[in-house]
Chain A
Amino acid sequence: MSALLEVSGVSVSFDGFRAINNLSFSIGPAELRAIIGPNGAGKTTFMDIVTGKTKPDAGKVLWGETSVSLLSMSEAQIARTGVGRKFQRPTVFEDQSVTENLIMALKANRSPWAVLGWRAKAADLDRVRALAEEVGLADALPRKAGELSHGQKQWLEIGMLLAQEPRLLLVDEPAAGMTLAEREHTTRLLVDLAKTRAVVVVEHDMEFVRRLNCRVTVLHEGSVLAEGSLDHVTANPEVIDVYLGRG
């Protein structure tokens, strides 16, 4: 199986502190993967590297069938290539309506000239409505995003992510701040999405990870400690030592 994203031998350090140390990771085009690890294991930095926010000191990040390097691309280019990211804290544009948020995220030509002349067509509005339906915000379309509850903002952000139609989704702690029902909804959604695209979930909540029922990668001090099914990695004594043992 050829990988969609292949990260190999990546290292990065901040002022002498090695946040990522010779990390290698790969994920297929339709795969669900959970990444767990204690605080400071480098989960967020890993996502920063993939999305282009942080440039690594060494290593390769290759993408897609043609194995293009993501390292020479800007954040925006990487996002257009098909990498979507959901942040830990919901970040939506609070000053704008839910519709405007979703329209901005819709897959379309992103160049200023194209956007300048862009006006919503019926198909676009239908798509927005469908997305809102899927994330349970159908009634909130005209409302300002800033008025939504924390959970609703999470959903809006997931909706925006779906609107982008990415081939790889990086999801940072999606279940945080959600009710039990919402968690189940999220789980279903993620598992569903992983049938057609790659999904990487960073999560602290073991119960949530267990429900995803997927391969798990354990990070520790910037490199991969173990990889396999949840049962497999939780049986690993090293993992127990550095991570689970503390809980």
Chain B
Amino acid sequence: MRNLILALFATLFLGLPQLVAAQTAPAQTAAEILVQNRDLVEKPSRQTIGPVIAALASSGDPQAAVILSAWADKGLAVRKSDGAFFLISAAPDGFALRTLDGSEAGTAPKSDITELKPNSGVRGLIATALVRFQLSDPDPAAREAALTSIARDPTADHLDPLRAAIDDEPDAALKAQKQRLERLLTLRFDPDSAARIAAINSFSGDLGLDLRAALNPLLVTTRNVAELSTTLPADAMPLRVGRDLTEAEAYDLLVAANLAPARLTRADLKVALLANITDGTVAGTPLAALNTPAARDAAYNALEAAGTVPAAATDAEVTAAVAAHQVYETYAEPDAAVAAAAVAALKSIETKLGLMQAADLGLDALSLASIYFLAAIGLAITFGVMRVINMAHGEFIMLGAYTGYVVQLWITNYTLSIIVALPLAFAVTFVAGVAMERLVIRHLYKRPLETLLATFGISIALQQLAKTIFGTQARPLTSPAWLDGALTFNDVVSISYIRIAIFVLALLFLLFFLWLMNRTRLGLEVRAVTQNPSMAASMGINPDRINMLTFGLGSGIAGIAGVAIGLFAKVTSELGNDYIVQSFMTVVVGGVGNIWGTLAGALLIGGLQKGIEWLNPSNTLAAQTYMILFIILFIQFRPRGIIALKGRAAGD
């Protein structure tokens, strides 16, 4: 299909006289070349057709591109009656014909036409030849497509057409792209090593994936072995057995190079013994005695001595064989200077890449930290300010997420539904929190351990209720389309918009909390009740009311956090479980009773988890294990958290 379009554009190309005029007059038309090489064209093979295609491509005839692309696309045919070449296309009764210069030539029945069907090798050659035309195609989209296809599968043949197509490129962006691709091809395929090194150096500081893809094949290493006496090739890098590779690996190389006999595996040994059983014995040893490796080795050695089985390498022989050889590596790139330049370039890329990855990791950690902060800030209020352990905090998060889900059932506009869901989730969990405080926690203020257990009872009841109502499968909470996608800085550093939104939300909550506690009457009263409830009561503050409001506030924030978390995590009845321990850790590690401490705790835990995951990317479970161990150790050194209240105020 694309070739057809190309053919169409190539036809248009004809109508651009200024370009035609710019070219030297064709020495031969494409049609003439075809006719001249009729035999080769009708029965093409990869070995012989090259010059014909080259001649066509360099003929300068604008029609050549049309012919070539038709040929590759099985659109070139010979009329049996007169042997003339035609461009064909399917018609109701056979084929519609066009002559090689593009004019209509009626139709012909199928029986009168021999389609030319070049094999894939020939089609590849034709495609390469077509590149030149595609790169100069008047349609920028076609030129870009050609560049992309070259970049995907570059070969040395592309270099010349690409270079030829640079100067005439009118589009600046495409021109830059062509130049970059030209340099990438140069560094791999140019015959002149100075040019290649220059091309490599010209990329200094570039981090592109394409550059790494171009450099890496040059530096693929192969391991070789040679006898000690041989002089190694100039570009060989010697390896030391025991440090760079194991003896077993070295011996495998020897075996592969036919320099040593294969090692006898236990399984082979067994097969050999089984094959040589005579009268219930192997080489004189009764079968029943062959139940230790030593006995089997002895039996095999006996067979070996008798010449029944081939000699096999013993461990000592393996060691000796390895010691008698040297192992070295060579780069796939034979030119040492180019290889050195590539190594240097890759190294500088890796350094930069490391920095970028660190930046990306930092962004990841920051976004995880804001999630933990969001999940923990409600706890920081109920636990940190009121010293009430709320094990149902996770379930309030879950409640918020399900509120969001239910809202989306009614309001299908995702943007609007989120706007509705946030305050609604706050309201739902606020009410739930106040109810819990009034009915349960109020009676247990002096018994913290029992608060823990009672709220745990509420937690399992809520969790089971959610499971009964919503089922066990995950429910979707879809984010608005404008939150899809990611903010991409380069090939390495990027962050999804949803995570940015959560970060912003966390920041807003921090500001809200600071404003609430330090600038409002309610905050003042909360602080007063926290520090000295009876004194606060005698000043006319109703501690009951304050406790109720504080608890409702903490729970309400958990609900909002639930909507935010639900946007990127699965909403299930166990959603809260996944965050409760981390939330408590955040508050405890940060230092109880201080919002900055919670922030520091979230940053520490988020950063730590990402850091450990980075060290051991395959295993996030292990990362969590190690993180918790770290926290247990951390509490050894700062039992009161990162930001601790000191002195008498801390109490005991």
Binding site for B on A (CB under 8 A): 14-15, 17
Contacts and interface: CB of A to CB of B under 8 A. Distances in A.
Given A15-B646, A15-B647, 6 more contacts: A14-B646, A14-B647, A14-B648, A14-B649, A15-B649, A17-B647
Interface string B632-652: 000000000000001111000
Contacts of B646: 14-15
Interface string B609-652: 00000000000000000000000000000000000001111000
Contacts of A17: 647
Contacts of A14: 646-649
Contacts of A15: 646-647, 649
Interface of B: 646-649
8 contacts: A14-B646, A14-B647, A14-B648, A14-B649, A15-B646, A15-B647, A15-B649, A17-B647
A interface secondary structure, majority: strand
Contacts of B647: 14-15, 17
A76 B250 CA distance: 64
Nearest to B645: A15
B597 to A, nearest CB: 16
B520 to A, nearest CB: 26
Specify the main secondary structure of chain B where it touches its partner: helix
Nearest to A17: B647
A14 B644 CA distance: 13
A82 to B, nearest CB: 24
Nearest to A45: B648
A56 to B, nearest CB: 13
- 5 pairs of A and B residues whose beta carbons are closest in the complex: A14-B647, A15-B647, A15-B646, A14-B648, A14-B646
Nearest to B652: A53
A173 B585 CA distance: 42
A110 to B, nearest CB: 22
A95 to B, nearest CB: 15
A247 B649 CA distance: 29
B526 to A, nearest CB: 22
A17 B649 CA distance: 12
Contacts of B648: 14
B136 to A, nearest CB: 78
A17 B648 CA distance: 10
A88 to B, nearest CB: 15
Nearest to A12: B647
Contacts of B649: 14-15
Nearest to B646: A15
A102 to B, nearest CB: 26
Nearest to A16: B647
A15 B649 CA distance: 9
B511 to A, nearest CB: 27
A14 B647 CA distance: 5
B99 to A, nearest CB: 98
A168 B56 CA distance: 113
Nearest to B649: A15
A124 B646 CA distance: 43
A119 to B, nearest CB: 32
A17 B647 CA distance: 9
B447 to A, nearest CB: 15
B533 to A, nearest CB: 19
B368 to A, nearest CB: 33
B640 to A, nearest CB: 13
A87 B225 CA distance: 83
A240 B646 CA distance: 34
A194 B359 CA distance: 70
A14 B652 CA distance: 14
A95 B531 CA distance: 29
A76 to B, nearest CB: 15
A14 B648 CA distance: 7
A238 to B, nearest CB: 27
A151 to B, nearest CB: 25
A14 B649 CA distance: 9
A15 B646 CA distance: 6
A5 to B, nearest CB: 24
A53 to B, nearest CB: 8
B643 to A, nearest CB: 13
B449 to A, nearest CB: 16
A14 to B, nearest CB: 3
A15 B644 CA distance: 11
